[in-house]
Amino acid sequence: MRDKPDIRDLLETARQTLMEGLLPNLPAEHRYRAHLVGAAMAAASRELAAGAAPEEDERAALARLLGEDGDLETLNRAFAAKLRAGALDGNEEAYAILTRGNAARLAECNPGYDTG
């Protein structure tokens, strides 16, 4: 068992320190980059919170669609090849996999973005 604070707590504390304690005191030419670092830290924290479930869900959906098993990278390459070849044109499950994946990535990277 890991001690508290855990990695997410430490990451959030570091992000808060950056954004609230350091950023206001930085020269203007460094603030944009500091905002980028803070945003990356927040996205990393959300990714840690989600764990492996989103990737496993995507892997399972691709395996069902393609009728083959494999790791996520291999299945994504096969999926992309079929998409490029037009083999999945009009396939509702392929469309659903793409839209779910994009929505999940937005939720981690930019949770305030309105997708609807």
Residue range 14-62, pLDDT digits in tens: 999 999 999 999 999 999 999 999 999 999 998 898 889 999 999 999 9
- Is the pLDDT score of 3 beyond 80? no
Domain range list for the chain: 7-50, 53-109
What is the model's pLDDT at position 61? 97
- Is the pLDDT score of 83 beyond 70? yes
Q: Which residues contact 45 (CB under 8 A, 6 or more apart)?
A: 8, 11, 12, 15
Cα separation, 96 vs 104, in Å, equals 12
